[in-house]
Structure 1
Amino acid sequence: MGVAYSVGEVDHLYTFFVQWSPKNYTKGNKKPRKSRYLIREKHQNRYVVVEKNKASAINKLLSNPVDPTAKNWEIITVKDSKRRLSLCSSEDSEAEEPEYQEEGDYALPVLSNHSLLLEDHHLERLASHMPARTQEYPWHLVYSSAVHGSSLKTLYRNMASLDSPVLLVIKDMHKKVFGAFSSDPFKVSKYCYGTGETFLFSFNPDFQAYKWSGENSYFVSGNVESLQIGGGGGGFGLWLDADLYRGASFSCPTFRNESLSTHEDFIVQDLEVWTVQN
């Protein structure tokens, strides 16, 4: 039995595959990779990555479709997709590259401002986990406790006009660096927001990235009293108070993470939030 997906659902399918099959779809896998193909909608930036051994069967379905709309789809290699993008110059062809990239294809993020917390080795490890849409664009400092003081309200206010992902970086009094990448800027909201691109990370001292587990969708929530990232099971993956002074980090179902710091309760020494705008 076949399953039909609308164009709008394809991005969510891809995120699902990335999160549930990290060994196949993420850059950290050091094993030899199988050939990758894209099920791509013609003239649109919608795609799903599939293995070579699945491509032939899917191609037959697309060649003899039950639904006429299937003719709008084609199967191409990831390499060919990139080649097409490099050759295209028309406005209609200026689409983002697929979020799947071979290891080494990503560039080190460029910071437009000086960071008190991020060094090259931090950026190198983080870059491999950030979505392709954030790459090759400079990161701008939108909030810094050293510049703007320690206030969650100020943090929200500085992001009020943003519509882009953000990177939250914290150094606590134990000199541990950790934080979160959020697909959406932080804001006051009655409900949780964000997508499966959101993840937690820690340099404690070795780098660990905690991707979405798929267990729940408690990505980010915030009010004037606190900011929470990840939840369920009685604890937040990362929690900050209204003064951005006290914080906490517990294991949570959203990311199946360990505590990001050496202590579940910590005191913030410095905090920065960066955003990428293309």
Structure 2
Amino acid sequence: MWSNFHPVKVKITLWYISRGWCLSRADMWHSRAQNLTEKSGALKNMKEHIRVFYFAKDCKEPYVEIITVKESKRRLSFCSSVESEAEENEYEERDEDFPVLSDQSQLLNEYQLQKLAAHMPARTQGYPWNLVYSTSIHGSSLKTLYRNMAGLDSPVLLVIKDMHKQVFGAFSSDPFRVSKYCYGTGETFLFSFNPDFQQYRWSGENSYFVSGNWESLQIGGGGGGFALWLDADLYHGASFSCPTFHNAPLSTHEDFIVQDVEVWTVQN
């Protein structure tokens, strides 16, 4: 009798079942399915090579489908391949978000680059990062840093690595320049990998985003110190908590020695 077996669908009305219900109550409905199939005469005893599946979809009333074990294995194999394809597509989407760099960064690894790119303003997404200043290429000079950004009209990313191997810095809505007054917007933020990624956005308490002169570059302020301060030789630095960002010190030491600096511009 079983050689002529055909799949049988048994309708079950479950008005209270929410979207996405599937297989979560298999044990409960197994006995009900047997009762229903026995009453309908479609099946007297559950054989070893038969399985019962329970389905609920958005546009369909939940139902039980009785199929052979062979068919169930085929379906499970198909579902696994679909899930693998979905995971691959998700990975590809993450790859697409990875920034395109004009040069290889000496300070940021792939994880750090991806974290920063994901937390930068929407207007920067999808545009290449261009290296405009690097101590390993241009030497340690704040004047050179300013000069390399002259004429730019795009946000910049400052990355610092200190002698304790800590990586931190700031995203500035405006390129760095010498100015008598503070400049920048609320897009400006601080970050650190100490050791995990931390981001400090504008608190709204004041607008002391960035200021610069020939002796130093300052980011954040209004309290007892700057959130980030660099001297003219880009050798000595400091980082304190400040009202502008309500940040913790970015380095493990409030006063630190700079090992390397990179500045990236993100422009279309």
- Residue 241 of structure 2 aligns with an amino acid whose one-letter code is S
1:267 aligns with 2:247: no
Report the more deviating stretch, 117-126 or 184-193: 117-126
- 1:121 aligns to 2:144 (yes or no): no
Match of 2:224 among 209, 234, 252: 234
* Structure 2 Cα separation of the partners of residues 122 and 235 of structure 1: 27
Q: State the AA in 1 paired with 2:220.
A: G
Residues 106 and 228 of structure 1: CA distance in aligned 2, closer, same or farther (over 3 Å): farther
User: TM-score, length-normalised on structure 1?
Assistant: 0.62
Determine if contact 1:106/1:128 at 8 Å carries over to the other structure. Answer: no
Secondary structure (helix, strand or coil) at the match of 1:125 reads helix
Gaps of 5+ in 1: 1-102
- Report the alpha carbon displacement of residue 164 of structure 1 after superposing the two structures with TM: 0.2
Aligned to 1:178: 168
Count of aligned residue pairs for this structure pair: 176
2:191 aligned with 1:201, yes or no? yes
Q: What residue in structure 2 maps to residue 255 of structure 1?
A: 245
Q: Which residue of 2 aligns with 1:224?
A: 214
Please say which of residues 103-112 and 135-144 is displaced more in the overlay: 103-112
State the SS of the aligned residue for 1:272: strand
Which residue identity lines up with residue 258 of structure 2 in the other structure? V
Which residue does the alignment assign to 1:67? none
Q: Which aligned segments of 4 or more residues in structure 1 are displaced greater than 3 angstroms?
A: 103-106
**Alignment partners' CA distance in 2, 1:181 and 1:237:** 13
Structure 2 vs 1, CA of residues 198 and 105 (structure 1 numbering), >3 Å: closer, same or farther? farther
In the alignment, the residues of structure 2 paired with residue 109 and residue 220 of structure 1 have an alpha-carbon distance, to the nearest angstrom, of: 25
1:128 CA drift (Å): 2.1
8 Å CA contact 1:227–1:239 kept in 2: the answer is yes
* 1:138 aligned residue: 128
CA deviations over 1:166-194 (Å, ceiling 9, x no partner): 00000000000000000000000000000
Shift of 1:233: 1.0
Report what 2:88 is aligned to. none
Mark the structure with the bigger radius of gyration.
2
SS in 1 for 2:180: strand
> TM-score, length-normalised on structure 2?
0.64
Q: Name the aligned partner's letter for residue 242 of structure 1.
A: A
The root-mean-square deviation of aligned C-alpha atoms, in Å, is 1.5
Q: Classify the secondary structure of the residue corresponding to 2:159.
A: strand
SS of residue matched to 1:250: coil
Partner in structure 1 of residue 3 of structure 2: none
Partner of 2:266: 276
Q: CA deviation at 1:118?
A: 1.2
Partner of 1:27: none
Structure 2 partner of 1:89: none
- 5+ residue gaps, structure 2, are 1-92
C-alpha contact (below 8 Å) 1:249/1:260 kept by paired residues: yes
In structure 1, distance between residues paired with 2:174 and 2:143: 17
Q: Give me the whole-angstrom Cα distance separating, in 2, the residues matched to 1:234 and 1:109.
A: 36
1:110 maps to a residue whose letter is: V
Tell me, what secondary structure is at the counterpart of 2:245?
A: coil
Tell whether the 8 Å contact from 1:106 to 1:135 is kept in structure 2 after alignment: no
Percent identical across equivalent pairs? 82
